Structure 1
Amino acid sequence: MRPRTIPWTAFTLTLVILCLAGLAPEAAAQKKGGVLKVGNLGEPPTLDAHWTTATITEVLAQHIYEGLYTLDAKSQPIPMLAEGMPAVSKDGLAYTFKLRPGIKFHNGKEMTSADVVASLNRWGAQSTYGKTLYARVAEVRAVDKLTVEMTLKEKTAIVLISLAVPNNAAAIYPKEIVDKFKPAEKATEWIGTGPFKLVEWKPDRHIKMVRFDDYQPRKEAATGYGGRKVVYVNELLWIPVPDAATRVAQMETGELDFADDLDLNAYERLKSSPGVQAIVAKPYYWLVAVFNKKEGLMTNQKLRQAWQAALDMEPIMKNVAGGHTDLYRMDSSLAFVENAPWHTKLSGLPWNEHNKDKVRRLLKEAGYKGEPIRFMTTQEYKWMYDFALLSKQQLEDAGFTIDLQVVDWATLVKRRNNSKEYDVFTTGMGNFYDPTHHIYLGPNWPGWTDDEELNRLLTELAREGDYKKRFALWEQVTRTFYDRVPVARYGDLFGLRAMRGHVKGFDTSLMRPRFHNVWLDK
């Protein structure tokens, strides 16, 4: 008996049904609409991506702006506004970028090479990462409407990674915005090409973004901070909630759909809260006290070494992490474990010594007479306040006099740029994707490290293209760092964020949150 032949139409229908049935539930359930309410720690100092390394500015700005390149899930540069990877001349001194056609800004204007050239030049004059790259740039010029050429003074390994980093990013603005706001002047008009458009900023109430209907997603699959970006929510509402405990409470009551930088003491509570998913962000920050090396007490290297020698890291980190040993990590490397190409395992570094005899000797050599050291922190990042308070106790036990000054985060970011207003400030260091990008090692960032040996090593790192040679130089940088002590490196802290169960599509693997490809199932 001949086997029965299945009609082609029936076979096709069966195949489609089976394929749909095999889709992950979320892949078949994406839907548009709704307002996504995000609780963040307070007001950003600006939404000008070129102007600051503050993480809150990065997170907000990356929803509005885009650059020529961004980072994929493996932290490698991939095209965003550029059509593809650049053409590089044989001598390595000229990079040619082709732009995607038909890309529109939020004001309806089409992006051209004139916008890109103006934006990159502004970024190169103002951004910490831009200044590092532009020290090696001879010229950036428009070749035609959709082609840009960057010519270098010398061959360097950092062009693409510099254009791709999300922090203090090489965001593309309309040329008329660049012309209106010079590099050192914070832009107060925020127009980008990103998937969200800013429509309202009411300080202390909210920052409102909406879907940009003329946004053109890339065709490639979403990966890391790049690939295909689709906005499903109608509105993204960022609500400042300066108190970390209040952010936790509003997650539990449902007043917020998502909240970041939460109190680590609430970790177990959030994990057991109905309808809430607790998310551990790893990596997040390594904690750091940044010394003012331009003027004042902390220009004294011996005094900085004494601070470093006084610290007993484990009790500080454990307390900051709410007693949860799985929310912090003890590590002396200047790169996270997760950043495997640049993570070091050097022995004999003067880290976590808590050596009071050494402290007393160094304080004497420094000529320190008990003068108050102005240590600036904030309670909006609860972990900053906690580690500053615990450091104050340990340092005063060792012979320091600490004047702890608590301000809001926006004020701290403003004051840290004025060398007369502080001696030390708290912050956290996120992932740096190239050794030359460690902002605290150079003179273009608050704290103003301008050390001859560090500058020499970083210059060699920027020139060198061979990975093994670059890594050897990076190990030298690390050893020099622990001698010069431009900042005091504490341990690695993991972040706590949370979202309600109806928030779908959020990529929990990202170090900083992004809300494209996210929808509400309610």
Structure 2
Amino acid sequence: MIQRRQILAGAAALPAASLAAPAMAQPAQNRVLRYVPHANLPNIDPFTNTAFVARDHAFLVYDQLYGMDENFRPQPQMAEGHVVENDGLLWRFTLRENLKFHDGSPVRGRDCIASIRRWGRRDAFGQVLMSRVADMTEVSDRVFTIRLNTPFPKMLECISKVTTSCLFIMPERLANVDPFTNITEAVGSGPYRFIQNEWVPGSRLAYARNADYVPRQGNASMTAGGKVTHFDRVEWHIMPDPATASAALQSGEIDWWEQPTADLFPLFLRGAAARNVRVDIINGTGLIGIFRPNHLTAPFNNPAVRRAVLTAINQTDFMTAVIGTSGIEGRPDLRREGIGYFAPESPSASNVSMERMRKSVDAARAELQAAGAIGQRLVLLNATDLSSINAATLVGADLFRRMGFNVDLVSTDWGTLVARRASRNPLEQGGWSGFFTFWSGVDHWNPANHASIRGNGENAWPGWPTIPAIEAQRDAWFNAPNEAAEKAATTEMQRIAFDEVPYVPTGMYYQPTAIRRNLTGLLKGQPPLFWNIRRA
């Protein structure tokens, strides 16, 4: 058989640049970066925990075979490069030399294979890859192969993705843990080591610079390129109270607040704090809000009831509650409505069936009446420690009551909500009806990464919709021979979604971050990036 070969050289993938040495001649306190994440991290397993905060933690500790640059193009990271042979059925990956895990052990091909297997059991994109894998073999410590039974042209997009769950490489001993059991030890080969004995859930996490980490040559670009670190230590301080976080940022007790609340933007933009604090948008794909109904329990096991919520939704109401009406320089309005089932700037976006969102509570109440759902109990989960989710949920609870539901609002913290939403019990046994949350726009970019549109039943993201027609169009997208066929598949997916309602889109907003002005080099993109940033 004639072999077709593709070779991607690691050094040529990104522009060459000299790597600046970390600034070590600073006072000790200046070599610590103090950060306030948007949520607490109750679980450090990056494969079982799909919350953004788990992914953000993992990018400090772990590295990827391929990173994603700011243009969403895969670039070699741990891999030196790859070769594709046998008409796309054999992929041969070569690791860079001298890669080491934080426990001192070398990174080997078998570690990569075990990590891919564990991740591929949990991640939606990874599941597609694993369905096409015939076998994976370690050729040597630095070389391993993936042999496919069907070509998979989206291989690099799959293994470099920044949407949860990302493919992080961990030691074989950890990767061999059952994929439905949480690992309790965070050992990677990334730029920072997790200091496990300083972890206080709900309060603080700490990371130390990995002295053995050798960055790639080239400029850093999102999760690709030269991940040069300029701090000896990174600390995460959990501060669910916005006033506390704001005061700490202004005083210099913390350096970076990931998601300041909208009411504080004027303070940072025009108040006294503006001298020392700046706000900026680093995630240009925005955050897309959704209401996720539980398809297994009443009232949302009835598609007519789910469609009634679509009829009532006014996306502007939700986004105004979340982000307010004022903006920042360069983006005077941080809200965006008219959001369907794919990110509006993505090639998958479509206007098909958008008229189903009629913004009419009266019409929705009539639909509920016809479905026999007026007065039904609705157990709505809320995370009060996340301001965006809390705001959206309070708007939603009011809307549901006006529609005619009997709303039981259960307010907890985000970690408790995540644990409870895993329950498939009926309402009378601790179950739930729905919750509001947000995804990054890139999570809704195409069917590969779009977990909340899936219709694969018990294997779906919590809410567990069973919608075979959506799954068929997702398969059509993966097998599409050209962009026109991909577009046809995603357009049909949206049409089906507006009829079956796996979830309800509640709008989109752009979340600024707040950071001390003496910090420079903050990279655009996602997740929040802890390399390249330095203190002036």
How many pairs are equivalent? 490
> Do residues 203 (structure 1) and 201 (structure 2) align?
yes
Q: Report what 1:512 is aligned to.
A: 527
> Is the CA contact 1:439–1:445 (under 8 Å) kept in the aligned structure 2?
yes
Point out the structure with max Rg over C-alpha. Answer: 1
Give 2:235's match in structure 1, choosing from 231, 234, 237: 237
* Equivalent pair of 2:307/2:499 in contact (CA under 8 Å): yes
Does residue 330 of structure 2 align to residue 329 of structure 1?
no
Pairing 1:87-98 to 2, within 5 Å after superposition? 87-98=83-94
Tell me, yes or no, if the aligned pair for 1:41 and 1:244 is still in contact at 8 Å: no
RMSD: 1.9
How far did residue 357 of structure 1 move? 4.5
Identity of aligned residues (%): 25
2:415 is paired with a residue whose SS is helix
After superposition, give the CA deviation of every residue in 1:156-176 in whole Å (9 maximum; x if it has no partner).
343221111122111111112
1:30 to partner: Cα distance: 6.3
Taking the aligned partners of 1:393 and 1:457, their CA distance within structure 2 comes to: 35
State the match for 1:131 in structure 2. Answer: 127
Asked whether the equivalents of residues 205 and 235 of structure 2 are also in contact (C-alpha less than 8 Å), the reply is yes
Quick one: structure 1 residues 453 and 371, their matched pair in 2 at CA, closer, same or farther if it must change by over 3 Å? same
Gaps of 5+ in 1: 1-26
Question: Does the alignment pair 1:417 with 2:427?
Answer: no
Comparing 86-95 with 63-72, greater Cα deviation is found at: 86-95
What CA distance in whole angstroms lies between the structure 1 residues aligned with 2:361 and 2:414? 32
- What's the counterpart of residue 477 of structure 1? 493
Structure 1 segment 387-406 matched on structure 2, within 5 A: 387-406=392-411
Structure 2 runs not aligned, ≥5 long: 1-18, 328-332, 426-430
Which one-letter code corresponds to 2:341 in the other structure?
Answer: L
1:453-492 to 2 correspondences below 5 Å: 453-492=469-508
Q: Give me the whole-angstrom Cα distance separating, in 2, the residues matched to 1:374 and 1:157.
A: 43
For the 8 Å contact 1:503–1:520, the answer to whether it is kept is yes
Q: Counterpart of 1:335 in structure 2: which amino acid?
A: F
Residue 513 of structure 2 corresponds to: 497
* Residues 41 and 202 in structure 2, CA contact (< 8 A), matched pair in contact too: no
The 1:350/1:415 distance shift into structure 2, 3 A limit, reads farther
Question: Which residue of the other structure, out of 152, 156, 161, is the alignment partner of 2:148?
Answer: 152
2:167 match: 170
Give the distance between the partners of 2:341 and 2:69, measured in 1 at CA: 22
1:31 counterpart = 2:23: yes
Using the size of structure 1 for normalisation, the TM-score is: 0.89
Name the counterpart of 1:302.
304
Most deviating of 70-79 and 348-357: 348-357
Distance in 1, Cα, partners of 2:135 & 2:297: 35
Alignment of 1:302-381 (within 5 A): 302-324=304-326, 326-339=333-346, 341-344=347-350, 346-381=351-386
1:437 paired residue among 438, 443, 449: 449
Contact 1:372–1:403 under 8 Å retained in 2:
yes
Q: TM-score, normalised by structure 2?
A: 0.87
CA distance in 1, matches of 2:286, 2:424: 27
The verdict on how the C-alpha distance between 1:328 and 1:160 changes in structure 2, with shifts beyond 3 A counting, is: same
Superimposed CA distance per residue, residues 131-167 of structure 1 (whole angstroms, 9 cap, x where no aligned partner): 2332332322212222221122323343221111122
Secondary structure at the aligned position of 2:119 is classed as helix
Give CA-to-partner distance per residue, 1:10-54, whole Å, 9 cap, x none: xxxxxxxxxxxxxxxxx9896235111001234213221111220
Instruction: Judge conservation of contact 2:323–2:334 (CA < 8 Å) in 1.
Output: yes
Deviates more, 1:207-216 or 1:407-416: 407-416
Name the stretch that deviates more: 261-270 or 347-356: 347-356
Q: State how far apart, in whole Å, the 2-side matches of 1:142 and 1:516 are.
A: 31
Is structure 2 residue 391 aligned with structure 1 residue 386? yes
**Aligned counterpart, 2:436:** 426
